[in-house]
Every structure is written in structure tokens, then in C-alpha cells.
Structure 1
Amino acid sequence: MAEAERGEMRLVPEKTDDRRQIGAVIPAAGMSSRMQAFKPLLPFRDSTVIECTAEAALEAAPRVVVVLGNHADEVERVLKKRFGDRLTIVRNPDYRSTDMLYSVQIGLDALGKCDGFFLLPGDMPAVGSDTLKALVEAFDGEHRVIFPSCNGRKGHPPLIAASLIPAIRSYRGDGGLRAILSDVPQKVIELGDKGITTDLDTPEDYAAMLNN
């Protein structure tokens, strides 16, 4: 994977309420094997799973990169019709044999300069945009990762300081992103958003989400 040229990046914005330097990476390249249906294009609310996920990200991060793989042409058409050029869409050509971290690394190559970024999996359409904005408000110089929590349970998306991007992009070990973030200073904020712990792995997960 080619390493993009990047300038020097500050740990946090000069003003914590300034969202201009916050980005988001949405990995959505997976096979959806446990769902028995293609997750990104499942109906959700008035659109689809991937559209709801992308809309929430765009409310808090003007620079959003979506990483596609399985059924990429179809998903790209849906996203382009809804969002036009507001999203950057890239592809993981090795989606069948790689994990989510590899898609994240591809997404970071396309993200460009930022102070921090959300990592929001494409199968989490119930995350509220207010949750993302609250994470931006909590983004400070003491913690390199800010996690949301609901009823004491940590969830997605983390807001990750740009200073960790080189380590994430170069990591080739076991454990994925969890291993990279496990030893860095973290902050967890309670937000009461059930969507942060609700992803779509199985048909039962999907049915439960539709009923909430």
C-alpha cells in the first residue's frame, strides 16, 4: 500500500469545537457472511444501513472516507446518488482475504491531513450524530482516543488522535486495531446512545435494531 505524503499534524484542534480538522473512516468492505444478506444495503429507517452510517459521520466530520469491497459498484452508486462528492469512496481489492484493519489502513491513506478521525464501522447505522459531536467536544490533549459508552459499555466509534495514524497504517501484527489502542491513553464518556453498541452481525441483530 502506497504511503501518502502527510504534513505535520497537531494532536487536537486549537479549538475543540472546531470540526474542520476531524475526519471519519467507514470500513464497509466485508462479506456479510453471518447476516445471510448484504448488510450495507439492508433497509434502515428511510434509506439503507450504509446511508444512515455515512449521514451521521458527515454531520460531525466534513471529510469522510468509505472503504468498499464486496458489491462495491452497487454500494458506490447508492452513496453517490445520495451524497455526491461529499464522500470519498475507495476500495479494498483484497476484501475477501483481509480484515477490517486493512480496510482502515486503506481509508487512512485517502483521508488526508486531520487532527483526529472517527472509526465508524459501516454496519452501525443507529449511532446518533449528536454522539459524534459530543466526542469532538471531549477531544483533548490528554487522551489519544475518546470512546463513547452506553450504560457502562464502551462502543463505537472511537475518536482517534492523528498522532496514532502512522502506527495504525504500519501495523502488521495480531489483534487488529484493538491491539494498537490497548496501551494508549483513553477517555470514555457516557452518552446513553444505544446505537454505539448495536452492530449488525446476524439476522437477529437486524430484527432487534428495526424494533428499537
Structure 2
Amino acid sequence: MSSPGRRTGILLAAGRGRRFDASGVENKLLQTLDNGQTVASQSALNLLSAMPHTVAVLRPGSDILCARLQALGVECVFCDDADAGMAHSLQAALRASAGSAGWLIALADMPFVQPDTMQKLLQALQNGKDMVAPVHAGRRGNPVGFSQKYLPQLLALQGDTGARQLLQTPDLHQIGVADAGIHQDIDLPQDLLTPRR
């Protein structure tokens, strides 16, 4: 259980990544980027830069991925019903950190988000915003942040849309960033190349 004043990073890493490799043999999160880090490790490092307490949600059997993330200081939580949708993965992490003052929720297949973006989102939460998201070139991206106020709504989410429906409300505080990485995920092998800026 987290201490009341602490915020927790959540790294969602329980997807199957079928678009990357339909056979399921190659785990996209374990692929190496041109800087030598794996996709998941780089995503974790970016999140850890702002959120020293970070929980990653994995599917059962992801032992190699868990070991690599634990080596970075990330706590691993396994979600048995990850295939039921992203909401289930998110809720597994929320239950593991329910005492937190808030959360910054990042996707493990988005390694190009800049640490500065993470810091800006955290700062907004610390300054009293209850729901935050970055915006670049007029488009909202990831990660997103929530205060403890939204825990009941987050725990009530269903399906594979994650927290997207909550982000449609006027309560959302959008933060402009010069970071194209908030829109770039690793869906296909060519996405592993150096990000656009």
C-alpha cells in the first residue's frame, strides 16, 4: 500500500501486441531500440524519471519482462484477466496502489515520450489538477494522470478503452508539450526506428 502523499506511476504492459507479430512469438516490448534499451525498459525509465514508485501490469508468463523491469526498480503485478481489456489491467495496478494520492498512467509500448513531459504532468497533479493529459500539435496523447478523486470511476471502467471515456469530460486539464512521442507507439516493426520530432 502506498503512503498517502505519494503518487504512483502505472506502466500498462499486459497487451498481446498482435499487430507487431500475429504469431505471438516476438514480444514487441522486448525488442531493442536503437539506443540499446528494450521498448518496455525505455518506457519504464521515462516514467521512473518522474515517478520513482512505478507499478507495471503484466500478463501471466511474462517472467523475462518482469525481471527486466524489476531490475530498474519497477514493481510487477500480474493480471490474470488481461485479455478481457485494458480496464482490467489498469485496475490491477490501481488495486496494488490504492493508497496513492494519484497516478500517472503510461503505456509500455510508447518509449519515445520525453521525461520532461512526465515531469509536467506530475507537476500539474501536485498543483491540484485532478485529471491531466499532454497535447502536441492539437492532439491529445499519453500518458495521462489522475488524482485519488477519480479512483472510484477508474475502478468502474470496463472493456478495452481504458480511461478514454473519463478523458472526454471538461474536468480534463490539457498541457501543451513539444513532444511528438506522446502519439508514437510501437505497433509494427518499423516503429522501432528513431522517433520523429
* TM-score (normalised: structure 1): 0.80
Q: 1:149 matched to which residue of 2?
A: 135
Q: 1:58 matched to which residue of 2?
A: 48
Q: 1:25 matched to which residue of 2?
A: 10
Q: 1:92 matched to which residue of 2?
A: 79
Kindly provide the CA deviation profile for residues 75-103 of structure 1, in whole angstroms up to 9, marking residues without a partner as x: 112223x32xx2210101123x3111110
Which of 62, 66, 71 is matched with 1:72 structurally?
62
User: Is residue 43 from structure 1 mapped to residue 29 from structure 2 by the alignment?
Assistant: no
Q: 1:108 matched to which residue of 2?
A: 94
Query: Would you say the 8 A contact 1:25–1:120 is kept in 2?
Result: yes
Cα distance 1:120–1:51, how it changes in 2: closer, same or farther (>3 A)? Answer: same
Structure 1, gaps ≥5 residues long: 10-19
**Alignment length (residue pairs):** 191
Query: Would you say the 8 A contact 2:132–2:172 is kept in 1?
Result: yes
- Which structure dedicates a bigger proportion of its chain to helix? 1
Residues in 2 aligned to 1:208 and 1:47: alpha-carbon distance in whole angstroms: 12
Residues in 1 aligned to 2:111 and 2:105: alpha-carbon distance in whole angstroms: 13
Residues in 1 aligned to 2:180 and 2:136: alpha-carbon distance in whole angstroms: 6
Which of 175, 178, 181 is matched with 1:189 structurally?
175
Structure 2, gaps ≥5 residues long: none
User: Is residue 159 from structure 1 mapped to residue 145 from structure 2 by the alignment?
Assistant: yes
CA RMSD of aligned residues (A): 2.3
- What's the CA shift for 1:6? 8.9
Residues in 2 aligned to 1:50 and 1:116: alpha-carbon distance in whole angstroms: 22
Kindly provide the CA deviation profile for residues 39-60 of structure 1, in whole angstroms up to 9, marking residues without a partner as x: 1101022210111111111111
Moved more, 167-176 or 42-51: 167-176
SS at 2:107 equivalent: coil
- Which runs of at least 4 in structure 1 moved beyond 6 Å after TM superposition? none
SS at 1:50 equivalent: helix
